Amino acid sequence: MKSIRLMGTTAVAVAMAVTPALAQVASLGTPEGQVNIVAWAGYIERGETMAEFDWVTKFEEATGCQVVVKTANTSDEMVALMNEGGFDLVTASGDASLRLIAGKRVQPVNIDLIPSWANVDERLKDAPWHTVGGVHYGVPYQWGPNVLMYNTEAFGDTPPTSWSVVFEEQTLPDGSSNVGRVQAYDGPIHVADAAQYLMAHQPELGITSPYELNEEQYAAALDLLRGQRKLVGRYWHDAFIQMDDFKNEGVVASGSWPFQVGLLQSEGFPVSSVIPEEGATGWADTTMMHVDAPNPTCSYLWMEHTLSSNLQADLSVWFGANPVVLSACTDGSGMQTAEGCTANGLDDFEKINFWTTPVSSCESQGECVPYYRWVSDYIGVIGGR
């Protein structure tokens, strides 16, 4: 299982390629009137999906900064959008954040301009997916696991305990095959999920991190994914399309996010989720600022706003994730409770293999397969090659 140490491998590689810079913003000016954010689905809510989940409206009223959101479905899409420019902020996962730093697409943040920085979980303040050479390139937003979501009617009294239900052909508890009834994530980082599975089921491969794979380990992961291709009815990247597939297309099991699980349950649909015995990958996301952000003052005001205990509490409930401000679990400022944080996996931080970008110069062994190979080869897997 992963500890935070494993994230440092890519950070070291990035530090070798990046000369840490000072924050570009020394003081705040007059709010520009707008802030443009690239975000994961469900991350920035203004009450349009459910009225009680709204952490945008009051911010806009208080600051005069209108929040404009562009939803991205994968980390690769986030990197592409930030490369194009025109955005102020992005809620980047660990498999994107260090690429953005190395590519000089994001700027260091001046934490002195973010008063609530002092309240951030100490485990995250200097996390290597947003900190290079002691310089912070973002503000932690939230974190959580990639869970196995399943249809409770299909599994009955025997819920899944292993990721095998999405990796290996088998008859499910409802008596039908899993062929065509499972999904897999439409992103190269899914190679890590295969590697996580192999860590438990083929220990002779010697995998110690699902993001650090030599040629033999990588080939084994691709072979597992090619076998999975025969089972997958659809590769998902849009959270809402995945939910529709569970409701209307007969999908009964898939890697997913707590967000989809919670929404489907709120609609009364029979789903649940589990972190299987092999463990799980996960994400610790960071709000990062574009190097050429057109609205820097509104950007800093938003980053400060995201660390408010109320927002962190409600976001944690809405997305089924964990707040980066621990007091949000207990201070009653929002909807979250200590029991809710525990249910979301707050105590499992050290057990999650957080997303990071694979690099050729890795810590666990002399040479690893870099991310660009993951991208091209996973396209091949999805295409049946």
What tens digit of pLDDT does each residue of 125-167 get? 999 889 998 999 999 999 999 999 999 999 999 999 999 999 9
Which of 18-32, 64-78, 341-355 is predicted with the least confidence, judged by mean pLDDT? 18-32
Distance of CA 237 to the CA centre of its chain: 12
Could you tell me if 24 and 78 lie in one domain?
Answer: yes
- Work out the percent of the chain whose per-residue pLDDT is above 90: 78
Predicted TM-score of the model (pTM): 0.81
Could you tell me if 248 and 220 lie in one domain?
Answer: yes
> Residue 371 CB: number of other CB atoms within 10 A?
20
Distance of CA 52 to the CA centre of its chain: 24
Could you tell me if 275 and 364 lie in one domain?
Answer: yes
**How many residues are there in the chain?**
385
The pLDDT, as a whole number, for residue 5 is: 31
Could you tell me if 341 and 362 lie in one domain?
Answer: no
Q: Is the pLDDT of residue 15 over 50?
A: no
Rounded Cα distance between 236 and 87, Å, is 25
Looking at the DSSP bridge assignments, the partners of residue 287 are 91, 139
Rounded Cα distance between 82 and 74, Å, is 13
Could you tell me if 269 and 297 lie in one domain?
Answer: no
The residue range of the domain holding 168 is: 146-281+358-382
Q: What mean pLDDT value characterizes the chain?
A: 92
Of 73, 108, 134, give the one whose Cα is nearest residue 299: 108
Task: Over range 351-376, report the average pLDDT.
Answer: 88
Q: Per residue in 89-123, pLDDT tens? A: 999 998 899 899 999 999 999 999 999 999 999 99
Rounded Cα distance between 64 and 355, Å, is 35
Could you tell me if 275 and 292 lie in one domain?
Answer: no
The pLDDT, as a whole number, for residue 359 is: 83
Q: How confident is the model at residue 357 (pLDDT cuts 50, 70, 90)?
A: confident
Q: Is the pLDDT of residue 20 over 70?
A: no
Q: State the pairing for strand pair 280-290/139-145.
A: antiparallel
The pLDDT, as a whole number, for residue 1 is: 26
When divided into structural domains, the chain yields a total of 2
Task: Over range 26-42, report the average pLDDT.
Answer: 96
Could you tell me if 74 and 162 lie in one domain?
Answer: no
What are the distances in angstroms from CA 280 to CA 117, 193, 299, 372?
29, 7, 33, 23
- CATH number, domain of 126, equals 3.40.190.10
Could you tell me if 332 and 371 lie in one domain?
Answer: no
Q: Per residue in 300-319, pLDDT tens? A: 999 999 999 999 999 999 98
Could you tell me if 90 and 218 lie in one domain?
Answer: no
Could you tell me if 367 and 232 lie in one domain?
Answer: yes
Instruction: Give the position of tokens 């590689």.
Output: 13
Q: Is the pLDDT of residue 6 over 70?
A: no
Could you tell me if 137 and 174 lie in one domain?
Answer: no
Which of 240-244, 250-254, 358-362, 370-374 is predicted with the least confidence, judged by mean pLDDT? 358-362
Which of 55-64, 99-108, 351-360 is predicted with the least confidence, judged by mean pLDDT? 351-360
Q: Per residue in 254-274, pLDDT tens? A: 999 888 998 899 899 999 999
DSSP reduced 3-state for 29: coil
Q: Per residue in 167-221, pLDDT tens? A: 999 999 999 999 999 999 999 999 999 999 999 999 999 999 999 999 999 999 9
Rounded Cα distance between 208 and 206, Å, is 6
Helices (H), 103-235: 122-125, 152-155, 164-167, 190-201, 215-229
Q: Is the pLDDT of residue 226 over 60?
A: yes
The pLDDT, as a whole number, for residue 356 is: 84
DSSP single-letter state for residue 31: -
Distance of CA 213 to the CA centre of its chain: 21
Rounded Cα distance between 84 and 103, Å, is 12
DSSP single-letter state for residue 69: E
**289 within 8 A of 88, measured Cβ to Cβ:** yes
Question: Tokens standing for 283?
Answer: 């994400």
